Amino acid sequence: MELTTALSSSPTAEAIASLTTRLGSQALGASSSVLWTHDDAGDLRLLAAHGVPDEALAPLRYFARDADVPGDEVLPLVCEGKTLGVISFRAGPRHAFASEERTFLTAVATRCAEALARARLYEDARRAERRLTTVLWWTTTRTLQSCWRTRSPARATRCEPRQTDRARCSS
């Protein structure tokens, strides 16, 4: 399945949502699809849409937690028992979705939810890496500044890395 392959190489939630709405709609011949994710308050925020004119996106950007979202087939994005968002497909004027198509849409929603969960983990790891880099930079800076304050710049050529607050510098 093209979608599964594409989702496995998408590192961001935005890329995952865009791929899911586009490829899901194309595979079924759906007229449009929209994907929302839950924000910290549990409300739905628009993440991606396919087949929806730009001027029609404004009323779709936000839905309260318990609001009904538009669509012929609306599926929750659930991974490990946690609902991450909702995806909606419109069949358009052609017909309602058949049973086999709904089964396919459920598989699409499942793969999308798994990919979104991975993207969140990836983003959490990137955030932790940035925090660690910042802490290390500040710790190193403080250590070096302590070296320079302890000795005159002419004599402070080496600093013991194990001592942070009262670094001993020797020439």
To which residue do tokens 């290390």 refer?
136
As a whole-number percent, the residues of the chain with pLDDT over 90 amount to 46
The domain spanning residue 101 has which CATH number? 3.30.450.40
Does one domain contain both 11 and 95?
A: yes
Beta bridge pairs of residue 32: 90
- The answer on 117 and 137 residing in a single domain is no
Domain count, the chain: 2
Same domain, 73 and 50: yes
| Token couple for 162 | 């194990």
Q: Which domain holds residue 159?
A: 130-168
When comparing pLDDT for 165 and 66, which is higher? 66
Distance of CA 110 to the CA centre of its chain: 16
* pLDDT surpasses 90 at 139: no
Question: Which one, of 131, 129, 170, lies nearest residue 147 by Cα?
Answer: 170
* pLDDT interval class at 1 (50, 70, 90): low
- Separation between Cα atoms, residue 145 and residue 142, nearest integer Å: 5
In a shared domain, residues 90 and 51: yes
Whether residue 144 is found in the same domain as residue 114: no
Q: Are residues 134 and 120 in the same domain?
A: no
